[in-house]
């Protein structure tokens, strides 16, 4: 049981757990203290000085770091405190690129809101403006140092949560910036394109590389057959862009919006997720039966794949050779679908809507063009799709629910749950018994692999064969597990890794929620509810029951793991230098 201390905040007696901060105590008492750099569990360093309070010391203290103590007297609101906060904010704004109307974060900017809340109506300290080059060479992420407020949230999430270390603080004083070592572009660094820096950033200093205009151009090209596929996590996040509560499932409205944007066909990436389970499950069974390389590690998350290529090149043979569902579907559309519909694959333009900025990098990998054409032509994030819907003047909330298109519009619940941590593992474990024995077991809700714990284990026994599995999300957690496997301290048959904490529902391309929301609500858990609700509502919930997938094998691929499957649905990986990349 936690020990409590009693303190006074703005004349109000407050009880708070020993070891908590003044900011936490004030929040529990309904007292608001402004913040900018603070992001719970990620960045708690007191750098911005927005949360200063008077605790009777010689100088004001940062509430996000100052510990509570018995009898402590705190003042959060006085003329001197308000003036100090306002002056600090004006100094931050003095050399900030204030092109707010054309900024990607306009009306969703924490700096903008703070300026309004603190009644900043003028900038009294117009200073020297720095002019840094914008790093827009990465296929996934654009970095604009001129908009950076040096809050260091991006540095914390990249270094401490993801343990990638692609960016850090460079130089000192007025010359301080956030950048890569040796001032390399992100594309030449160890950046894995996960985009967690983007969703952590309070301003517009980080954004995705936009594909919107290229998609508009494709839709206007009458010579192209433009189709779109949507990842499962998109339906769990898109509604937030249009005022729906976090965790609202908007599948039908999303499909309707895409059809109104002009796509010839709207498909569900979940169908390819079912196909992935058939291929990956078969691969696992074959490795177990034939003493192949174990553990088998999932290959659906492109951020994780690049992380592995940089940091664990000795374990690339452990990765499943299966393409991700995105690229598996792209290859499918430019082969099976093209043949079935009588369309020249050169005329098929495949757009993916993904919760993930790393998918943009993945789409450009030269290994992913098994039909002679890139599997994927352009990738939109969830945010970009919302922008296109608004730009087209579509009233999202008034749209009816519509269905994905045939001939590949049906997926199972197993495909849907790919969007959450543990979902790929649960989908696989639902089908592995069938792939081993030809019969289903009774265990369909494998809840032991659900949830946002950093690490989860499961063991399934089929015909005397014990399959030991592990689930991990967030690259810092993945590093811990892989280090144990590499050292011979962990023994698994199958490991699921997702680059983003919580899985795809918390991807770098999902709607950006401000710190005021993220500090109070676990986005991972709330968005996951929409995924599991859709799974439970499905008639078919095992990948090997998907009639479209079974028909594909019957008409085209012959069998899971067959020659044609390997040619079109599987790939290989590349060992990369750790840093810098040449």
Residues 530-571 pLDDT 10s: 999 999 999 999 999 999 999 999 999 989 999 999 999 999
62-113 pLDDT per residue, tens: 999 999 999 999 999 999 999 999 999 999 999 899 999 999 999 999 999 9
382-418 pLDDT per residue, tens: 999 999 999 999 999 999 999 999 877 789 999 999 9
- Beta carbons within 8 Å of 27's beta carbon, 6+ residues apart: 33
Residue 55 phi/psi, 5-degree rounding, is -115, 15
Per-residue pLDDT band at 581 (split at 50, 70, 90) = very low
For residue 361, pLDDT over 50 is answered with: yes
pLDDT given for residue 242 in this prediction: 98
DSSP conformational letter for 52? E
For residue 527, the tally of other CB atoms under 10 A from its CB is 30
CA distance 528 to 417: 9
User: b/e map of 107-120 (b: 16 or more CB within 10 Å)?
Assistant: ebbbbbbbbeebeb
Residue 198 CA neighbour count, 13 Å, CB half: 29
Please name which of 219, 281, 283 lies closest in space to residue 542, comparing C-alpha atoms. Answer: 281
The mean pLDDT of 332-353, rounded to a whole number, is 97
208-234 pLDDT per residue, tens: 999 999 999 999 999 999 999 999 999
Find out whether 186 and 508 touch, Cβ atoms under 8 Å.
no
pLDDT given for residue 410 in this prediction: 81
User: CA torsion, points 244, 249, 255, 256, in degrees to nearest 10?
Assistant: -40
For residue 115, pLDDT over 90 is answered with: yes
Find out whether 377 and 331 touch, Cβ atoms under 8 Å.
no
pLDDT above 90 covers what percent of the chain? 89
pLDDT given for residue 436 in this prediction: 84
- Beta carbons within 8 Å of 98's beta carbon, 6+ residues apart: none
For residue 294, pLDDT over 60 is answered with: yes
Find out whether 204 and 104 touch, Cβ atoms under 8 Å.
yes
CA distance 442 to 430: 9
For residue 328, pLDDT over 90 is answered with: yes
CA distance 447 to 339: 40
pLDDT given for residue 580 in this prediction: 53
The mean pLDDT of 123-127, rounded to a whole number, is 82
Query: H or E stretch including 286?
Result: helix 269-289
**Average of per-residue pLDDT values in the chain:** 94
Per-residue pLDDT band at 264 (split at 50, 70, 90) = very high
Find out whether 500 and 506 touch, Cβ atoms under 8 Å.
yes
For residue 520, the tally of other CB atoms under 10 A from its CB is 10
For residue 374, pLDDT over 90 is answered with: yes
| Domain boundaries of the chain, sorted by first residue | 4-77, 92-208, 212-569
pLDDT given for residue 83 in this prediction: 96
Length of the chain: 582
**Tokens 């040796």 map to which residue?**
182
The mean pLDDT of 494-498, rounded to a whole number, is 97
Find out whether 34 and 149 touch, Cβ atoms under 8 Å.
no
* The CATH number of the domain covering residues in 212-569: 3.40.50.1780
Q: Which CATH class is domain 4-77?
A: alpha beta
pTM of the model: 0.95
Per-residue pLDDT band at 577 (split at 50, 70, 90) = confident
CA distance 93 to 62: 20
What residues act catalytically? 280, 283, 300, 320, 359, 362, 367, 504
The sign one gets for the Cα dihedral 177, 182, 188, 191 is negative
For residue 351, pLDDT over 80 is answered with: yes
For residue 178, pLDDT over 90 is answered with: yes
CATH architecture assigned to 92-208: 2-Layer Sandwich (3.30)
């Amino acid at each position: 049981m936690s020990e409590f201390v009693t303190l006074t905040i703005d004349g109000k007696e407050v009880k708070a757990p020993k070891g908590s901060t003044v900011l936490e105590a004030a929040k529990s008492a309904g007292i608001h203290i402004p913040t900018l750099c603070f992001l719970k569990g990620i960045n708690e360093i007191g750098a911005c000085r927005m949360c200063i309070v008077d605790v009777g010391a010689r100088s004001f203290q940062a509430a996000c770091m100052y510990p509570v103590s018995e009898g402590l007297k705190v003042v959060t609101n006085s003329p001197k405190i308000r003036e100090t906060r306002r002056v600090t904010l004006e100094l931050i704004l003095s050399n900030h690129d204030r092109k707010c109307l054309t900024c990607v974060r306009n009306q969703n900017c924490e700096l903008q809101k703070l300026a309004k809340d603190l009644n900043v109506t003028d900038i009294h300290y117009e200073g020297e403006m720095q002019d840094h080059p914008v790093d827009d060479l990465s296929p996934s992420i654009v970095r604009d140092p001129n908009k950076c407020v040096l809050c260091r949230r991006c540095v914390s999430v990249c270094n401490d949560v993801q343990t990638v270390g692609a960016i850090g603080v460079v130089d000192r004083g007025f010359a301080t910036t956030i950048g890569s070592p040796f001032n390399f572009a992100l594309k030449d660094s160890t950046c894995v394109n996960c985009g967690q820096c983007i969703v952590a950033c309070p301003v517009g200093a980080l954004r995705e590389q936009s594909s919107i205009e290229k998609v508009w151009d494709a839709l206007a090209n009458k010579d192209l057959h433009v189709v779109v596929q949507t990842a499962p996590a998109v339906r769990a996040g898109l509604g937030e862009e249009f005022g729906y509560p976090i965790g609202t499932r908007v599948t039908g409205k999303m499909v309707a919006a895409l059809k109104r944007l002009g796509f010839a066909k709207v498909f569900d990436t979940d169908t390819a997720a079912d196909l992935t389970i058939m291929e990956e499950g078969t691969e696992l069974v074959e490795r177990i039966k034939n003493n192949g390389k174990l553990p088998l590690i999932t290959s659906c998350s492109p951020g994780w794949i690049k992380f592995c290529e940089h940091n664990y090149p000795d374990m690339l043979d452990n990765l499943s050779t299966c393409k991700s569902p995105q690229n598996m579907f792209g290859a499918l559309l430019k082969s099976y679908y093209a043949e079935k519909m009588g369309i020249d694959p050169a005329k098929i333009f495949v757009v993916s809507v993904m919760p993930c900025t790393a998918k943009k990098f993945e789409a450009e990998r030269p290994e992913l063009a098994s039909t002679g054409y890139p599997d994927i032509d352009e990738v939109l994030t969830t945010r970009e799709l919302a922008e296109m819907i608004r730009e087209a003047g579509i009233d999202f909330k008034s749209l009816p629910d519509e269905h994905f298109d045939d001939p590949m519009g049906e997926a199972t619940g197993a495909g849907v749950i790919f969007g959450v941590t543990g979902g790929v593992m649960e989908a696989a474990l639902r089908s592995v018994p069938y792939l081993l024995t030809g019969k289903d077991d009774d265990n369909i809700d494998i809840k032991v692999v659900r949830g946002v714990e950093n690490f989860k284990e499961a063991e399934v026994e089929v015909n005397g064969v014990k399959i030991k599995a592990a689930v991990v999300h967030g690259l810092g957690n993945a590093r811990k597990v892989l280090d144990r496997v590499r050292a011979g301290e962990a023994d698994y048959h199958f490991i699921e890794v997702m680059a983003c904490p919580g899985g795809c529902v918390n991807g770098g391309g999902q709607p950006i929620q401000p710190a005021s929301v993220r500090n109070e609500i676990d986005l991972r858990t709330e968005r996951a509810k929409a995924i599991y609700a859709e799974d439970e509502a499905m008639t078919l919930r095992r990948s090997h029951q998907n009639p479209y997938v079974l028909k594909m094998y019957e008409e085209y691929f012959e069998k899971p793991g067959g020659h044609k499957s390997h040619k079109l649905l599987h790939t290989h990986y590349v060992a990369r230098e750790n840093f810098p990349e040449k």
